[in-house]
Amino acid sequence: MNRAELLQKIRQTQTWDVIVIGGGATGLGAAVDAAQRGYKTLLLESYDFAKGTSSRATKLVHGGVRYLAQGNISLVQHALHERGLMRQNAPHLVRTLGFVIPSYSWWGVPFYGIGMKVYDVLAGKLNLATSKILSKSEVKTKLATVKEDGLVGGVLYHDAQFDDSRLAVTLVRTLLDLGGVALNYAPVTGLLKTNGKISGVAAKDLETSEALELHGKVVINATGVFVDAVRTMDDSTAAKMVSPSQGAHLIVDKEFLPGNDALMIPKTDDGRVLFGVPWHDKVILGTTDGSVENISLEPRPLDNEIDFILHTAGQYLAKAPTRDDVRAAYAGLRPLVKAEGAGSTKTLSRDHAIRISASGLITITGGKWTTYRHMGADVINRALEVGQLPAVASSTETLKLRGHSLEQLPEPWQVYGSDANAVKAMQGADVAMSTKFALTEAQVRYAAKHELARNVEDVLSRRTRALLLDAAESLKIAPRVAAILQEELGYSSDVVTAQLESYKQICQGYMLK
Ligand SMILES: Cc1cc2nc3c(=O)[nH]c(=O)nc-3n(C[C@H](O)[C@H](O)[C@H](O)COP(=O)(O)OP(=O)(O)OC[C@H]3O[C@@H](n4cnc5c(N)ncnc54)[C@H](O)[C@@H]3O)c2cc1C
């Protein structure tokens, strides 16, 4: 996977069948679906793959217990089906996880017990494992640090967990394996039109500043919270389609929630749910949901979000985490589909929407990571009508993603699946870069050579998860990462200095002290 070769292929291709703008879950799902059907497919991403919302999720592959409580049965059932497919198609990245709902009231156990039985039934034959009622002592065995005062019992149910940016990298590689092309650091700057109809995109290679004019039969706008900016490139009067909502997460050490199961708090003070989820030997606490006006690729958790998460977790955990315990804090923006007259963003639908403009620009947004595959199939079904492409049915339901493997590997190799041996074959597989998380020099080299990582942030934030696992520690190892990238990619010392300065700025946004 050499970026220069990909760029060359882009220059040499006269007309693409499908051009996808945006390299997050939605764009990657669409591009993989198109390439799997045999269409000539190109995906362009402004910055890095999953730089936006798709690296900032709670990392759950779920039907959405909250939507079940809201009575949105079809959304839940559909997401549970996709959850099962994701587990089958990427078992190296998606694992079944137990969630415990502790109950402090007599009615909570039967109430949530029945609810989770419904959840099991809705998952049908793709259910991961059966839910069950837990006694007080069983809750304590599973969640050793849960508050005991007033605890009556609990309910155990199952969802799945994944590594979001690693899934994005896996989809990029799957796309390339299928003959498609994906390029990062290549923003779309305008849309090409012929006789009033969309006929391609104008883009820029940020590394060389080369301007590119790329022709395509169909152009799909999958830019998350940025879809409205691209819609305006098509029609300056286009109505806004997205209502962005921010969610924040805090990462704390495993001692706050040891064990293998997640904590699910079913009703927070603002009527949502909050999770404590074990992830790569740390715990993710989150999330929040509040509408925001200004959208950015680096949204920051707000003070009130941080306080809310710490306060809510502290109500359930024997030792309440404080700001000093936070290893990293991150936020993401949900691209929720706008609804006229809706109240708060937490009531907006989590379903996806597709709009086709008069000139044929196809925009897809909303949904969630869990439903990325179905969203991809749905939008390509529409694209083949718009672009008059030869009709081929989607077959991603059974498409095994790159690295597919049922083998269980120790950290940090699990996320590579069947590619793990290729990573281990790189120089430095036995050189640990930190004592705070599992990361070897070989992974950095592999990211540069085979995963299109271009800078220190790509490596520490999305090819590996060092930034999220411990932001301060990731900053300490950044110079070594930069030195390896310099060796692998031939960067000048000016480039290295600029990358380190930029990483420092970004990293500071993830640290609370
Ligand atoms: C706090 C939070 C928690 C979540 N947790 C979960 C969860 O646990 N499970 C789950 O299933 N879902 C979860 N979600 C939802 C899920 O993360 C999102 O639905 C999904 O990541 C959205 O992906 P996207 O591709 O639409 O947007 P993005 O990931 O934002 O991708 C859009 C991309 O388009 C690029 N772009 C923008 N403009 C241009 C341009 N002009 N040219 C080229 N590229 C451009 C951006 O750089 C960006 O990378 C969560 C969301 C949030 C906010």
Q: Which string of DSSP letters, residue by residue, matches 346-399? A: GGS--SEEEEE-TT--EEEEE--GGGHHHHHHHHHHHHHHHTTPPP----GGG-
Mutate to test the pocket of ligand 1, among 53, 298, 355, 452 (most ligand atoms within 8 A of CB): 53
CB 349 within 8 A of CB 222: no
Indicate whether residue 413 lines ligand 1 (CB < 6 A). no
The number of the ligand 1 atom at minimal distance from the alpha carbon of 368 is 19
| Residue 212 near ligand 1, beta carbon < 6 Å | no
Tell whether ligand 1 has an atom less than 6 A from the beta carbon of residue 370: yes
Per DSSP, 52 falls in state: S
Asked if 58 and 102 touch (Cβ cutoff 8 Å), the reply is: no
Distance 332 CA to ligand 1 centre (A): 8
Compute the distance between CA of residue 126 and CA of residue 424 in angstroms, rounded to an integer.
34
Nearest CA to ligand 1 atom 9: 60
For ligand 1, is residue 52 a contact (CB within 6 Å)?
A: yes
Which residue CA neighbors atom 27 of ligand 1 most closely? Answer: 224
Residue 26 beta carbon below 6 angstroms from any ligand 1 atom: yes
Q: Residues with Cβ < 8 Å from 185, sequence gap 6 or more?
A: 45, 46, 47, 48, 205, 206, 207, 454
Residue 131: phi and psi, rounded to 5, are: -80, 160
Residue 354 is predicted with a pLDDT of 97
pLDDT band at 513 (very low <50, low <70, confident <90, very high): confident
User: What distance in angstroms lies between residue 133's CA and the mean position of ligand 1's atoms?
Assistant: 35
Is residue 348 pLDDT above 90, yes or no?
Answer: no
Within 13 Å of residue 170, how many CA atoms lie on the same side as its CB?
31
Alpha carbon distance 223, 310 (integer Å) = 32
User: pLDDT tens digits for 224-277?
Assistant: 999 999 999 999 999 999 999 999 999 999 999 999 999 999 999 888 899 999
- pLDDT at residue 67, rounded to an integer: 86
Q: Is the CB of 180 inside a 6 Å radius of any atom of ligand 1?
A: no
Does 330 sit in the ligand 1 pocket, CB within 6 Å?
no
Mutate which of 241, 369, 452, 454 for ligand 1? The one with the most ligand atoms within 8 Å of its CB, which is: 369
Compute the distance from residue 247 Cα to the ligand 1 centre, in Å.
12
pLDDT for 453: 98
Indicate whether residue 84 lines ligand 1 (CB < 6 A): no
CA-based Rg of the chain, rounded to a whole angstrom?
22
The tens digit of pLDDT for each residue in 85-97 reads: 999 999 999 999 9
pLDDT for 125 equals: 94
> Which pLDDT score is estimated for 69?
82
Q: Name the band, by pLDDT with cuts 50, 70 and 90, for residue 342.
A: low
> According to the model, what pLDDT value does residue 344 have?
65
Beta carbon of 288 within 6 Å of any ligand 1 atom: no
Tokens 């945006």 belong to 22
- Please give the Cα distance from 453 to 451 (Å, whole number): 6
What's the pLDDT band for 347 if we cut at 50, 70, 90? low
Query: Which atom of ligand 1 has the smallest separation from the CA of 289?
Result: 1
Find the mean pLDDT for residues 465-492: 98
**Residue 39 buriedness (CB in 10 A; 0-12 / 13-18 / 19+):** buried
Nearest ligand 1 atom to alpha carbon 59: 8
- The full set of domains in the chain, from first to last, is 3-53+166-240+346-398 (3.50.50.60), 94-161+243-343 (3.30.9.10), 414-508 (1.10.8.870)
289 CA → ligand 1 middle, Å: 15
363 lines ligand 1 (CB under 6 A): no
Q: What is the pLDDT of residue 339?
A: 77
Q: Are 277 and 162 in contact (CB under 8 A)?
A: no
